[in-house]
Amino acid sequence: MSGYRGSALQVEHPCPQCGGPVILEETDRFLSCNYCHVRLYIFSKDYFRYYLPPSKHPESDTIFAPYWRFRGLYFSIRPFDIKNKVLDTSFSASGQEFLPISMGLRTQTLKLKFADSEMKTTYLPNQLTVNEAISRIEKMTHFFDSHEYTGRIFHKAFVGDTVSMIYAPLYIRNRAIYDGVLDRPIATLTQSRQECLEQPVGKTAWRIDFKPALCPDCGWDLSGGRDSVVLLCRNCDSAWHSVKGTFRKVDFRVVRWRDRNVIYLPCWRMSAEIEGVDLKSYADLVKTANLPKAPKPEWRKKEIFFWAPAFRTHPHLFMRLARQMTILQPEGDYNDSFPRSAFCPVTLDSGEAFESIKVTLANIAVAKRKFFPKLPSVTIRPLKAMLVFFPFTVEGNELVQTQLKFSIQRNTIGGPEILATS
């Protein structure tokens, strides 16, 4: 599924069971083989690492340079609005100025492979954190403005569906450093560059595992879309998130609905400890959002939850849904089992959803001039995330949520193929 336009890179990997060639998209979490029909879930201990194979040069003599690969939503809070954008790029992580800062379009035409720490090649070390890389991308590309923006930024947030590392091939020939894909020199080989390319790399322990997606509680096949980060067990009614290479249980609820002929869309309901701004209770939320409601004393004790879509979608829809749900504070009539309806796959992690809380707060606050300058000193400590599935009825091109009285365009969450009904 692609809730917004963006490039999904392709990855080639032999089927772990029969060896047949399988082409995956980078967001795929299931490997499905057309030859032996095995369907395996792909686990990684942290993030996925890929490499671009060199076109002619032998792999064993290739040096691989790391690039961060990002795709997701990017928000920048300024005086006095929130800019948003889909970030879909790569950025050099080696810190070496002689290498191109991005991988460019090559990744869209070539197939990646999973990088393996057992490969007998040299991997240059990664010198940049995800956040450092994103800050540099923003500075270098001015992606919200045609020229450099020097004004104030109160907060920046990246809510990613893809954060991975791609290694690009290099080799040395005739005192020059060559791009291993284009077979073209990109820099002369100086003494210091040679030292940098030959620096010893500490032993890495990367690994990806392919395992059948079976419910850890009852052993049934878990269901989900090809890019689901949370899988559902329709036998014992449980939900599972892959964390550090294993499945962990996720708390979930399904909002009751009289009719099975609906599509359930997942949202994260998050609780967090907030410091630096008065937002402890529902009474505080009503005041911040200036909701036209007569205050009730019990609201001072009522806990608030922050909401965010748990599926990939356009940044403006993401912001709108997160705001609407957080203002509404829905308290559904919940089921803790899955009805026989269609479920939209969960494609956004709770960790990423927590990154959106400050953006939602800024979006809700009515007194923006007073509220935005407080954002840098606001701290948000994530406490708990629960998945809540809301029923939507299909009406033409719209998906309508009857209880909360809002609708979204069907195409903003992708086509009908996204629906995992089994």
The Cα–Cα gap between 202 and 86 comes to 34
- DSSP H or E segment with residue 357: helix 357-364
User: How many residues does the structure list for the chain?
Assistant: 422
Among 218, 366, 367, 383, binds Zn ion (CB under 5 A): 218
Q: Using CA of residue 314, residue 320, residue 321, residue 323, what is the dihedral sign?
A: positive
Nearer to Zn ion, 149 or 220 (CB): 220
Nearer to Zn ion, 165 or 420 (CB): 420
Among 235, 281, 341, 393, binds Zn ion (CB under 5 A): 235
Nearer to Zn ion, 12 or 217 (CB): 217
Nearer to Zn ion, 242 or 356 (CB): 242
CB atoms within 10 A of CB 215: 21
Task: Return the range that interacts with Zn ion (CB under 5 A); candidates 40-48, 225-233, 310-318, 389-397.
Answer: 225-233
End-to-end CA distance of the chain: 17
Distance of CA 400 to CAs 83, 267, 273, 397, Å? Answer: 27, 15, 32, 10
Interaction pattern, residues 123-162, with Zn ion; x per rule: CB under 5 A: ----------------------------------------
Nearer to Zn ion, 33 or 265 (CB): 33
Least distance between Zn ion and beta carbon 181 (Å): 28
Q: Is 50 helix (H, G, I), strand (E, B) or coil?
A: strand
Among 23, 176, 201, 236, binds Zn ion (CB under 5 A): 236
Size of the residue set binding Zn ion (CB under 5 A): 14
Least distance between Zn ion and beta carbon 113 (Å): 17
Least distance between Zn ion and beta carbon 366 (Å): 45
Nearer to Zn ion, 213 or 267 (CB): 213
- DSSP-derived secondary structure for 232-243: EETTTTEEEEEE
Distance of CA 45 to CAs 12, 42, 265, Å? Answer: 20, 10, 28
Least distance between Zn ion and beta carbon 231 (Å): 10
Nearer to Zn ion, 213 or 353 (CB): 213
**CA atoms in the 13 A half-sphere facing the CB of 21:** 7
Residue 182 as a binder of Zn ion (CB under 5 A): the answer is no
Least distance between Zn ion and beta carbon 225 (Å): 18
The residue type found at 3 is G
Least distance between Zn ion and beta carbon 1 (Å): 24
% helix / strand / coil in the chain, to the nearest 5?
A: 20, 40, 45
Least distance between Zn ion and beta carbon 21 (Å): 9
Least distance between Zn ion and beta carbon 336 (Å): 13
Q: Where are the alpha helices (DSSP H) in 198-342?
A: 282-288, 315-328
Least distance between Zn ion and beta carbon 14 (Å): 8
Least distance between Zn ion and beta carbon 32 (Å): 9
Q: Check if the beta carbon of residue 51 is closer than 8 Å to that of residue 167.
A: yes
Distance of CA 13 to CAs 29, 223, 405, Å? Answer: 13, 22, 45
Among 165, 213, 215, 267, binds Zn ion (CB under 5 A): 215
User: Phi/psi at 2 (nearest 5 deg)?
Assistant: -135, 105
Nearer to Zn ion, 37 or 139 (CB): 37
Task: Return the range that interacts with Zn ion (CB under 5 A); candidates 136-144, 210-218, 224-232, 343-351.
Answer: 210-218
Stretch 323-352 residues interacting with Zn ion (CB under 5 A): none
At 251, list the tokens: 């708390």
Strands, E assignment, 332-396: 334-335, 342-343, 379-395
Stretch 254-313 residues interacting with Zn ion (CB under 5 A): none
Stretch 2-61 residues interacting with Zn ion (CB under 5 A): 15, 17-18, 20, 33, 35-36
193's CB contacts (< 8 A; 6+ apart) are 96, 98, 177, 187
Nearer to Zn ion, 18 or 182 (CB): 18
The binding site for Zn ion (CB under 5 A) comprises 15, 17-18, 20, 33, 35-36, 215, 217-218, 220, 233, 235-236
